[in-house]
Amino acid sequence: MQTETTRTPSGIFVLGEMRNGHIHSVTLELTGKGRELAAARGCTVTTVLLGGEFKDDPADPIRYGADRILAVNHPSLEHFDQEIIAKVTAHLIETEKPEIVLAPATTAGRTYLPAVAALVNTGLTADCTGLDIDPETGLLLQTRPAIGGNVMATIKTPNHRPQMSTVRPRTFRIPDPEGRTGEVLHPPVPEHLFSSRIRNDGMEYLEEQGANIQDLDVVISGGKGLKRPESFRLLQELADLLDGGVGASRPTVEAKWIPYPHQVGLSGKVVAPKLYMAVGISGAVQHLAGMQTAQTIVAVNKDPEAPIFRVADVALCGDLFDIVPRLIERIKKEKRS
């Protein structure tokens, strides 16, 4: 069997994410990661941008590591349509034959990438937190949390091409921009690929705080220890002071104290902010799986045996209705000085 090291490397595709004409930051994170992998493989990085009208310069990802941009503009790409984006992506993969495809594990990526994998008959590894090149075989090593995030599984795609991974936003850092050069290409795409059996029927943008907790540096989450739904206001006050958002444990969402978009954990969102604060959350496995990769974890709980303390950097054991207001006052004082 031919090993990857004997094969001619055929390049890395980074599938960008466009939101309302803008290049989403996850595109640059993945372009940076693609650059690292390309250095190990001795191949090129191509960032693919599919959208309606571009409001950002499609050349932007070049500064972050792309050698080429494949930009496709079409009115039918204005709104997310999983059928069109899957077909166009599969077409570009079949034409360009990349050996690796990295894509965002956003709701969009997690929707159309599995369809692409089925269309081009290859594997797909979801939510990778680590990507490396195996020095011996040249294969992509994809590491992802498994079984609730307490086990890490490393996965290979030995015989199928491309090797495809989705990666959650904020998993990798955006590299510092460099003065690099590259080209922006507009590949031809057959018109019939832009047809869809799905009709877009509008967007409803939710302004509500906290719906985007995956994109924030600070997440303050509450659990049943808050005793009543109104106590979330206290957490909101603290979150506002730190430009953060409010998260919640599953039991509080099930009790309808706070809407589902705030739920952190296995059955909710996985967050990895700079600071995660768990207030009145005991720390069920299901919750820990959604936050234990945060950079710093602060836990407030009255039970000294609460499992949440085992994953915390700072454990504040006491009455949250005493501790949180004191912390708020202290931060306000700090901001005034």
Partner 1 sequence: MKIAVLVKQVPDTDEVKMDPEKGTMVREGVGAIMNPLDMNALEAALALKRGAGDGEVTVLSMGPPQTEEALREAIALGADKALLLTDRAFAGADTWATSRVLAEAIRKTGPFDLILAGEKATDGETGQVGPEVAAMLDLPFSTYVSALERISPAEIRVRRTIEEGYQYQILSFPCLLTVLSDLNEPSMPTLAGKKKARRFSLETAGNEALDLPKEELGLSGSPTRVVRISYPKITRNTEHFSGSHLDEGIERVVALLKEQALL
Interaction residues for partner 1, span 161-200 (CB under 8 A): 196-200
Q: How far is CA 65 from CA 30, 89, 133, in A?
A: 9, 21, 17
What the block records as the tokens of 86 is 């899957």
* The one segment of 30-38, 40-48, 182-190, 318-326 that binds partner 1 by CB under 8 A: 318-326
**DSSP notation for 5-59:** TTSPP--EEEE--EETTEEPHHHHHHHHHHHHHHHHHT--EEEEEEESS-SS-TT
Please say whether the beta carbons of 318 and 297 come within 8 A.
Answer: no
Q: To the nearest whole angstrom, how small is the minimum distance from the Cβ of residue 72 to partner 1?
A: 20
Cβ neighbours of 78 (radius 10 Å)? 15
13 is an interface residue for partner 1 by CB under 8 A: no
In 3D, which of 165, 148, 151 has the Cα closest to residue 291?
Answer: 148
User: What is the DSSP secondary structure assignment for residue 266, as one 8-state letter?
Assistant: T
- Which one, 59 or 274, has the nearer CB to partner 1? 274
> Judged by CB under 8 A, does residue 107 bind partner 1?
yes
User: Is 3 an interacting residue with respect to partner 1 (CB under 8 A)?
Assistant: no
Restricting to residues 209-248, which ones interact with partner 1 according to CB under 8 A? 211-212, 214-215, 217-218, 242-243
Neighbours of 267 (CB within 10 A): 14
Q: Which is nearer to partner 1, 184 or 317 (CB)?
A: 317
Give the separation between CA 336 and CA 330, rounded to whole angstroms: 10
Q: Is position 304 an interface residue for partner 1 (rule: CB under 8 A)?
A: yes
The region of 36-44, 172-180, 187-195, 205-213 touching partner 1 under the rule CB under 8 A is: 205-213
Report, in Å, the least distance between residue 196 CB and partner 1: 8
Q: Which residue, 272 or 311, has its beta carbon nearer to partner 1?
A: 311
Site for partner 1 in 65-94 (CB under 8 A): 79-80, 82-83, 86
Cis peptide before 162 (omega within 30 of 0): yes
CB of 69 to partner 1, least distance (A): 24
* Segment interacting with partner 1 (CB under 8 A) among 59-67, 174-182, 203-211, 219-227: 203-211
Q: Does 126 bind partner 1 (CB under 8 A)?
A: yes
